[in-house]
Amino acid sequence: MAKLEVLVVVAVFMEMVSAASLGVVYTEGGMVEGENIRLGLFSSMDIFRGIPFADMPGRFEKPKRHPGWDGVLKTTEFKPRCLQMNVIMTDTRGSEDCLYLNIWVPHGRSVSTDLPVMVWIYGGGFLAGGSMGANFLDNYLYDGQEIADRGNVIVVTLGYRVGTLGLLSTGDSSLPGNYGLWDQQAAIAWVHRNIRSFGGDPDNITIFGESAGGASVNFQTLTPHNKGLIKRAISQSGVALCPWGINKNPRKLAEEIALKVNCPIDHTMGACLKMTDPVLLTKAGALSLPSSADHPIVFNLLLSPVVDGDFLPDEPSKLFHNAADIDYIIGVNDMDGHIFTALDVPSINSDLLETPVEDVRRLLASYTKEKGIAGLDNAYSTYTSSWGSDPSWETIKKTIVEIGTDYIFLVPSQAALYLHAANARTGRTYSYLFSEPNRMGGLLKPYPSWMGADHADDLQYVFGKPFTTPLGYWPSHRDVSGYIIAYWTNFAKTGDPNKGDLKVPTTWPRFTSTGHQFLEINAKMNSSNVKQMMRMRYVHFWTSILPNLAVNFSE
Ligand SMILES: *[C@@H]1O[C@H](CO)[C@@H](O)[C@H](O)[C@H]1NC(C)=O
Ligand SMILES: *[C@@H]1O[C@H](CO)[C@@H](O)[C@H](O)[C@H]1NC(C)=O
C-alpha cells in the first residue's frame, strides 16, 4: 500500500474509534466542560469535578440557587470539602464554599442518553467527609468511575455541610438546623433538573450512601420536599432511626457550643453564633473523646438532624408514607459496631487481654439507661443466655461487638425495613447483611481472628477498589465487588437487584412483612445466602421488650 493510502486508512480508523464525549454541557448556571478519558476501543467517560449546584451558603442558612456564570466553566478539579475537623482532630480543613458535585458519565460507541443516575451521599458521622472521599496515592475513595463503567450508569457524588456549620440547631426558628440535609436536597433537585443534558434520565434517580450518608438517604426519602425526585434508595449501615440519627435536645448542645465560643445563653445566642468565626465554631463542635463502656462514643455523636417542622415535619418513624413509591435497599455489615465498641472497650481487639464480663454489663447499662435496672437485667440475660457457665474470652469480646452492632445499626435498620415494607405502595424493599471479613483480621494482624465486616468495610467494594488497585486485593475480593456493583446498578436500572445488565450470583428475594428475607453478601455466595429474620431475638428485645419495660431505677 502506498504511504498516502495507509495514512488515509489510519485516519479513517482513528475517526471511527474517536472517543464519544459530551463536550461542553449546558446547565442552568452556565456551560461546563469536564475531562474525557478513553477506557477501551469503544468506550470512554466524561468526568466533571466541582460543578456548583448552589451558591456559597450563608452561615446557618438554607442553600440558595447559584447566580450562574459567563463562558465555559472548566470542571476538572475536585473542590475543597466543607469546613470540618481534620482526621487527627488538631485543626480544621476545607471551606465554607463547598456546595459542589462531581459527575461520571460512561459512553459506548456513541454519546449516552437516558442513563440511570446514582447519587452518592458520604458518611462521616455528620462531622466529616467529602464528595470525593479520602485520597490515597491519587486514588479517591468515592471515585465513581468503576461503578459508572461496569454498571453503565451515571454516578454523581455531592458535597454537603457537616459539623457545627451543617447541623447546629437551637431547637427554634433562630437556628433551625438541618442545613446539611438541605444541601443534599438542593443537589438532588439540581440533578433532577440538569442531568438530562449529561445523558441521564431524571426519572431514574437512585440515591445511595453509607453511615451518616445512609441515614441521610433515609431522611431524603422521608422529607416531603423530595416528592417525585427520587425513584430508588440504598442505605448502607445507617438509617434515620439510628440512636445517633436525630438529636432530640439540640438546645442543650447549642448552649454548650455557645459557651465554648463565648456567646451568651439568651435570646441573642443565635445572632452571636452567626457572627462567630467559622473555624472556632467548627472546633467547638469537634467530637469529644475518650469514650468508655460507661460513656459510649455513640452518645457523643450529637450534631445530627433535628425534627424542625420543615425538612422533617415529624419523627422519622411517622414519615415512611413519603417513601411509599421509592424502591429501597437497606443493609448493615455484620460487625458494624466493632470500630465503635473497640473505642469504648479497647481490650476486645487484644488476644492477650481479658475483657471482663463486667464490661458487657457496663455497656448494656449505658445503652438501656432510660429503663434503669430492669432494662439492664433483661438485656444482660438476652445477650448471655447462650454463654454457658464459663464463657471464653472470645465469646465475651464477640458479644460486646454484637451489642454495639445491634444497638447502633442493625436493629434500627430492621425497624426501617419493617416500616418501609408496611408503608409501601409501588416501592419494593430489600434487606442485606454484608459479611466479607475485614482484611486486618487474623494471625499477626491488628484485629482479632474472628473479625467480620467492620463499619465502612463495604465502601471499597461498592466503589470497585479491588479492580482499580488489583495488587491490593485477592481475586475473591474482586468477586464480592463485582456482585455488589451488579446488585446495586441493576437495582438503579430496574428497581430489582436481580434484573439488569449484570449477572448476579444468586437471586435476592424481596423483604416482606411476613417473610423478612435478606441476602448475606460475601465472596462465597450461593442460594444458601438467602436467609430470614435477621437476629430476630435481639431485634425483638430492642424494639418490643425494652420499650415496654416499666422504668425501675432501684436495685
Ligand atoms: C430506567 O432505566 C432503565 C434502564 O435504562 C429503563 O429500562 C427504565 O425504563 C428507566 N425508567 C424507569 C422509570 O425505570
Ligand atoms: C453454598 O456454599 C457453601 C460453602 O460456601 C456450601 O457448603 C453449600 O453446599 C453451598 N450450597 C449450595 C446450595 O450450593
Would you list the domain boundaries of the chain?
Answer: 6-548
- Using an 8 Å Cβ cutoff, are 69 and 55 in contact? no
Task: Tell me the one-letter amino acid at 161.
Answer: R
Where does the pLDDT of residue 88 fall: very low under 50, low under 70, confident under 90, or very high at 90 and above?
confident
Q: Determine how many CB atoms are found less than 10 A away from the CB of residue 10.
A: 10
Q: Is the pLDDT of residue 555 over 50?
A: no
Mean pLDDT of 497-524: 96
DSSP letter string over 499-549?
A: SSSS--SS--PPP-TTT-EEEEESSS-SGGGEEESTTHHHHHIIIIIHHHS
- Please tell me whether residue 117 adopts helix, strand or coil conformation: strand
Q: How far is CA 427 from the centre of its chain?
A: 20
**Rounded CA Rg of the chain:** 24
pLDDT in tens, 234-269: 999 999 999 999 999 999 999 999 999 999 999 999
pLDDT in tens, 23-59: 999 999 999 999 999 999 999 999 999 999 999 999 9
Cα–Cα distance, 9 to 65 (Å, whole number): 50
211 is catalytic: yes
Grid cell listed for 383 = 445477650
Cα–Cα distance, 18 to 419 (Å, whole number): 50
Q: How close is the Cα of 25 to the center of ligand 2, in Å?
A: 50
Cα–Cα distance, 295 to 275 (Å, whole number): 33
Q: In the prediction, which pLDDT does 225 show?
A: 98
β-partners of residue 205 are 117
Among 491, 494, 496, name the best residue to mutate to test ligand 1's pocket (greatest count of ligand atoms within 8 A of Cβ).
Answer: 494
Q: How far is CA 400 from CA 136, 153, 335, in A?
A: 32, 40, 10
pLDDT in tens, 380-421: 999 999 999 999 999 999 999 999 999 999 999 999 999 999
Ligand 2: does its nearest atom lie under 6 Å from the Cβ of 524?
A: yes
Cα–Cα distance, 358 to 381 (Å, whole number): 13
Q: In the prediction, which pLDDT does 129 show?
A: 97
Q: In the prediction, which pLDDT does 15 show?
A: 54
Which-ligand-closest: CA of 115?
A: 1
DSSP letter string over 158-222?
A: E----HHHHH---SSTTS---HHHHHHHHHHHHHHHHGGGGTEEEEEEEEEEETHHHHHHHHHHH
Mean pLDDT of 429-455: 90
Which-ligand-closest: CA of 529?
A: 2
**Which candidate in 225, 338, 455, 516 is catalytic?**
455
What angle (nearest 5°) sits at the alpha carbon of residue 135, between those of residues 133 and 141?
45
Q: In the prediction, which pLDDT does 136 show?
A: 85
pLDDT in tens, 466-480: 999 999 999 999 999
For atom 11 of ligand 1, the residue with the nearest CA is 204
pLDDT in tens, 156-195: 999 999 999 999 999 999 999 999 999 999 999 999 999 9
Q: What is the pTM of this model?
A: 0.96
Q: How close is the Cα of 190 to the center of ligand 1, in Å?
A: 20
CATH number of 6-548: 3.40.50.1820
**Which candidate in 44, 131, 211, 366 is catalytic?**
211
Mean pLDDT of 52-80: 98
Give the residue from 425, 186, 400 showing the smallest Cα distance to 293.
400
291 is catalytic: no
Q: How close is the Cα of 112 to the center of ligand 1, in Å?
A: 14
Q: At what angle do helices 393-405 and 357-367 cross, to 10 degrees?
A: 10
What angle (nearest 5°) sits at the alpha carbon of residue 546, between those of residues 542 and 550?
170
Q: How far is CA 70 from the centre of its chain?
A: 35
Q: Is the pLDDT of residue 1 over 60?
A: no
- Using an 8 Å Cβ cutoff, are 338 and 323 in contact? no
Give the residue from 58, 66, 82 showing the smallest Cα distance to 161.
82
pLDDT in tens, 6-24: 656 655 555 556 789 999 9
Q: Which residues contact 8 (CB under 8 A, 6 or more apart)?
A: none
Among 479, 528, 531, name the best residue to mutate to test ligand 2's pocket (greatest count of ligand atoms within 8 A of Cβ).
Answer: 528
Q: Is the pLDDT of residue 554 over 80?
A: no
Q: In the prediction, which pLDDT does 87 show?
A: 85
Give the DSSP letter of residue 314: S
Mean pLDDT of 438-452: 83
Residues flanking ligand 1, CB < 6 Å: 116, 201, 203-204, 493
